[in-house]
């Protein structure tokens, strides 16, 4: 594909690969198809889960199934949606020079990805995105580092709202922002919430807009038990949302909870880097 032409019709020209077909990979595939991307130009790999295959059948997307080697050789943009611990399985795969690899792996830095793929020539990006449910509902947000026009254009075609980050470290703040919906459902002190959001916004200005997004995606509930159940489903053991909610449960302030979320994101990055390198 000719990447130099910004007016090229990416819906018909670009070839997209998705390595990993869990909840995120499935959500991205679904919106790609629903937004007009040609199925013959989409390649996706998965680990053989029969439930995943059933989902692909419902989407009419079994034609998209490919081996990782084909994806890396033929796709223009490749989204990595595997678990961070599984990225080492991709070591040794040859990547053409002009291929763009976009990693959705939480906590895995661009530098670490370059080491895994043993390349300084391939264009590698790090992406963080809101939950699969928001993507399918066309209410998702994402950030890409470093910023790239074609990658961002592709994501916008998937109805994702893009927030820019100037530094890779800002991804930890963005990730905490993605966890805001659960925190807002748990907390009720609007003044403390606004003060906390403004304070974090001094470090990352877009945090205020992410806060507005979070308020806009909050669901309504008929009972308190429904809300509690919803919050519990948003929590991953050892994750950022859990760190925030546990902080709030212990009676700490909203700003302290957000700071603990950011700190947990940083800790996860160090833990994942250590596990991959050892």
Mean pLDDT of 61-82: 94
Cα–Cα dist 72/99, whole Å: 8
pLDDT of residue 227: 93
pLDDT of residue 89: 87
pLDDT for residue 53 is more than 50: yes
User: Counting Cβ atoms within 10 Å, is residue 243 exposed (0-12), middle (13-18) or buried (19+)?
Assistant: buried
pLDDT of residue 166: 92
- Asked whether the CA dihedral 207, 107, 44, 41 is positive or negative, the reply is positive
Q: How confident is the model at residue 2 (pLDDT cuts 50, 70, 90)?
A: very low
Query: What share of the chain in percent tops pLDDT 90?
Result: 73
Q: Which residue segments constitute the domains of the chain, with CATH numbers given?
A: 10-162 (3.40.50.720), 170-277 (no CATH)
206-223 pLDDT per residue, tens = 999 999 999 999 999 999
pLDDT for residue 6 is more than 70: no
pLDDT for residue 204 is more than 70: yes
Q: Cα dist. 273→128, 169, 199, 247, 253 in Å?
A: 17, 15, 29, 25, 30
pLDDT of residue 4: 47
User: Counting Cβ atoms within 10 Å, is residue 210 exposed (0-12), middle (13-18) or buried (19+)?
Assistant: buried
pLDDT of residue 3: 47
108-129 pLDDT per residue, tens = 899 989 888 876 667 999 999 9
Cα–Cα dist 91/112, whole Å: 12
42-45/16-19 β-pairing: parallel
133-185 pLDDT per residue, tens = 999 999 999 999 999 999 999 999 999 999 999 999 999 999 999 999 999 99
pTM of the complete model: 0.89
Q: What is the largest CA-CA distance in the chain?
A: 55
Cα–Cα dist 259/26, whole Å: 31
pLDDT of residue 160: 97
Helix ranges (H only) for 179-239 are 180-186, 190-201, 207-216, 224-233
What does the H/E/C string look like for 23-74? HHHHHHHHHHHHCCCCHHHEEEECCCCHHHHHHHHHCCCHHHECCHHHHHHH
pLDDT of residue 84: 84
């Amino acid at each position: 594909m000719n990447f130099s032409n910004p007016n090229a019709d990416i819906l018909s020209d670009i070839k997209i690969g998705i390595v990993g077909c869990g909840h995120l990979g499935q959500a991205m595939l679904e919106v790609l198809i629903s937004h007009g991307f040609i199925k013959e130009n989409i390649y996706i790999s998965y680990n053989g889960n029969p439930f995943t295959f059933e989902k692909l059948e419902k989407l009419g997307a079994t034609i998209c199934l490919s081996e990782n080697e084909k994806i890396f050789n033929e796709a223009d943009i490749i989204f990595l949606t595997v678990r961070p611990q599984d990225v080492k399985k991709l070591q040794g795969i040859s990547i053409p020079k002009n291929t763009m690899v976009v990693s959705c792996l939480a906590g895995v830095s661009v530098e670490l990805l370059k080491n895994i793929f043993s390349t300084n020539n391939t264009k590698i990006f790090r992406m963080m995105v809101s939950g699969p449910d928001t993507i399918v509902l066309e209410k998702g947000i994402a950030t890409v580092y470093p910023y790239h026009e074609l990658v961002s254009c592709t994501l916008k075609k998937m109805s994702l709202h893009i927030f820019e980050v100037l530094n890779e470290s800002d991804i930890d703040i963005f990730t905490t922002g993605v966890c805001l919906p659960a925190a807002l459902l748990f907390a009720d002190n609007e003044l403390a919430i606004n003060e906390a959001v403004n304070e974090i916004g001094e470090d990352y200005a877009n945090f205020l807009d992410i806060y507005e997004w979070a308020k806009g995606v909050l669901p309504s509930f008929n009972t308190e038990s429904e809300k509690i159940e919803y919050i519990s489903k948003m929590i991953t053991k050892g994750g950022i949302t859990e760190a925030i909610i546990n902080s709030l449960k212990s009676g700490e302030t909203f700003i302290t909870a957000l700071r603990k979320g950011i700190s947990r994101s940083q800790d996860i990055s160090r833990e994942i880097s250590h596990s991959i390198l050892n």
